Structure 1
Amino acid sequence: MKHTVLISDKFDKEGVERLEKAGKFDVVYKGGHSREELLSVIDQAEALIIRSATKADKEVIAKASRLKLIIRAGVGVDNIDIAEASRRGIIVMNAPGGNSVSTAEQAISLITSLARNIPQASASMHDAKWEKKKFKGTELTGKTLGVVGLGRIGKEVVKRAKGLRMNVLGFDPYIPAESLTHLEIDIVSKEEVLKSSDFITVHTPLTDTTRDLVNKDNLKDLKKGVRLINCARGGIYNEEALLEGLESGQIGGVALDVFTQEPPPADFPLIGKDNVVLTPHLGASTDEAEFAVAMESIDELIEFFDNGVARNALNFPSIDPDSLDYLKPYFEGGEKAGKLLAHFVGGDVKTVDINYHGEIAKYKCDPVNTAILKGILTPAMGDDQLN
């Protein structure tokens, strides 16, 4: 019996063909669908593959009576109601490895564009102008780049910035400094990044901790003339604060690939500013990234239906069925305990010591450990970063 797979966003052609040739799946491809069309066919699907356009919200999930699996072909899962999926026993996975290079290259491109006024100079030339003096820029060599978030993408940015002979400061409170020594950069506090950087780029999820990382209250703490780049999530920089900083001269330039509202409204206040570069969420928009996340997603899909393995699952552990039956009640309790612990101790958790006693100690408890750690880290990092 074949499994019905619904692909509801634009997807790499080779990926669709690979699924069809596998002989195990009935593939329903609805790239560029309307929401009404999605709702009309979702009840057929055992697996749903999406990118960023589809909103797998409570209404969609409620109609998905046969759905076992949602795969986000990419990293961010803020377009999936993970809590609702979990309540209905639907596993949510992402494909975190495929678009790291493309997003890092987008960040470096925006850094270079800000330094050399490339978009503005190009627009001027297209207006048949020759304004050489107006667009004098600055070299990147010797400048200090602050990188907030040193996961997959942040590390790729660091490699490229060092190749440009920039001095790099890194900040990530959830990765131990000793595990970042191979990057050969200075690991500093968030305050030091804001105070000392000529350019700052962010590569974190949007959480209560990262929201408004730059805001009206801490504009004064930024290095005068700093240039800010965001290819991660809209809202990490407060957009009203960006406008205020640009107008006062505290901020020397802004480059955004992501926005609090996407697409931004026609009256978005940063549109038309000379020292602002805006792109329409292009971070993962390359042929190579689309192919890579498609292949990673299909690998996960096949492995799940062939072997029951939930690789890169965000709400479910990989575990044998017998152990799962016993340990399952501990997953929710462990996560709640972790969140409670995080509430009392704050975000500065260095180590966690977990001990088991009684019958549960006879089982391999790694999935319960994961649930506890997820509870501790979720308030700061968000569900989409916790595999």
Structure 2
Amino acid sequence: MPARLTILDDYQSVALTSAEWSRVSTTYEIDVETEHIDAEDALVERLADSEVVVAMRERTAFPAAVLARLPKLKLLVTTGMQNASIDVAAAAAQGVVVSGTQGSGREVAELTMAMILNLARNVIAEDRSMHEGGWQHTIGVRLEGKRLGLVGLGKQGAWVAELALAFRMEVVAWSPNLTPERAASHGVTAVDKEELFETSDFVSVHVPLTEDTRGLIGAEELALVKDGAFLVNTSRGPIVDSEALLMALMVDTLAGAALDVYDVEPLPASDPLRKLSNVILLPHIGYVTREVYATFFGQAVEDVLAFLDGSPVRTL
């Protein structure tokens, strides 16, 4: 029997058509899992014979406890060059090579702007009404002149600012280390955290998830927002306190929200967010484009071939 390579969380069944795997298949039997495996025992059982695992972003966690139960694992490939769900130190101690790929481009920023437009003009609600036989029943708002508050002005935040400025929005930003000079270089005004939440018509989250940013936006921040304000999160779910967000949406402290990320993914069917009419829910598709998948899986193939040649590349 050839050694096994398992591709995890291929929800759209496109991993094998997004790259050329023929050279890999001469060494490995390729096993593709299209459903998410949440239970640790089930995951370990599925991967017991896998020498190589290709993981999609942070969909499946590989803490030390899981890695220790996978003695045959030699190479773990993650899409992107950062993955908070993998214990890289534990993998190294076990002799498992962890390699990555390049990340996404402007896809997340583009989706963020699409979500802002949907919130402003009720696109999804009106589309649903039309399919049900209805006609006009909502009134939108103009983006020109509205204030967009960016929590974080890194690469994605700066790209969102560029798009928002094209719509003639006023863009402000805050993060713990943001300087006025750096903000100004992107056509953005740096403000303090309180001002951002008090004055922004739209707040969009663009900081990475770390121990410092977990719960960064909670009840205190959401209580500051102006009437009619919206929240957009395309970064990571736990940056926004989920209970505080749910309450703000239920009592209309927030006019609405658009979310692409959650504390638990896939979002459980029983999650109360699914029952709210003032929130747009997307299944973490910010980076899900044909171009990104071609990069992810194409470079995953390169990582596997480099590992087989004894010269691993893009190691974490």
- Same fold at TM > 0.5: yes
CA distance in 1, matches of 2:251, 2:301: 49
CA distance in 1, matches of 2:197, 2:232: 13
SS in 2 for 1:80: coil
CA distance in 1, matches of 2:81, 2:253: 33
Residue aligning to 1:151 = 154
* 1:225 corresponds to which of 209, 224, 228: 228
Amino acid at match of 1:142: G
Aligned: 1:21 with 2:23: yes
Aligned match of 2:90: 84
Alpha-carbon contact 1:142-1:166 (below 8 Å) kept:
yes
CA shift in 2, pair 1:237/1:9, >3 Å:
closer
Larger radius of gyration: 1
Which residue among 126, 136, 142 is the counterpart of 1:121? 126
Instruction: Tell me, in whole angstroms, the C-alpha distance in 2 between the residues paired with 1:34 and 1:283.
Output: 18
Assess if the C-alpha contact under 8 Å between 1:15 and 1:298 holds in 2. Answer: no
Structure 1 residue 77: deviation in Å?
2.2
Q: What are the Cα deviations for residues 127-167 of structure 1, in whole angstroms up to 9, with x where unaligned?
A: 2122x2x3110011111111222333222222221222211
Could you tell me which amino acid in structure 1 is paired with residue 267 of structure 2? P
Cross-structure match for 1:384: none
Alignment of 1:230-269 (within 5 A): 230-269=233-272
Percent identical among aligned pairs is 32
Deviations 1:272-311 (A, max 9, x none): 3332211222222222221222223334444555573542
Distance 2:147 2:277 in 1: 23
Secondary structure, aligned partner of 2:275: coil
User: Which ranges of structure 2 fall in alignment gaps of 5 or more residues?
Assistant: none
Which deviations, in whole Å up to 9, do the C-alpha atoms of 1:26-50 show, x marking residues without a partner? Answer: 35232326854763554441x3211
Partner of 1:39: 45
Query: How many residues are treated as equivalent by the alignment?
Result: 307
The residue matched to 2:274 in structure 1 has which SS?
coil
Match of 1:282 among 263, 282, 285: 285
Query: Aligned partners of 1:20 and 1:156: how far apart in 2?
Result: 37
- The answer to whether the Cα contact below 8 Å between 1:212 and 1:238 also exists between their aligned partners in 2 is yes
- The answer to whether the 8 A contact 1:72-1:95 is kept is yes
Superposition TM-score, scaled by structure 1 size: 0.69
Is residue 106 of structure 1 aligned with residue 111 of structure 2?
yes
Aligned to 2:144: 141
CA contact (8 A) 1:100 1:152 kept: no
Pair 1:71 & 2:77 matched: yes
Deviations 1:48-75 (A, max 9, x none): 2111444334454224334343221146
Give the Å deviation of 1:228.
0.0
- What is the TM-score when the length of structure 2 is the normalising length? 0.82
Which protein is richer in helix relative to its size?
1
Q: Quote the offset at 1:24 in angstroms.
A: 7.6
Take 2:45 and 2:129, find their aligned partners in 1: how far apart are those partners? 46
Asked if 1:308 corresponds to 2:311, the answer is: yes
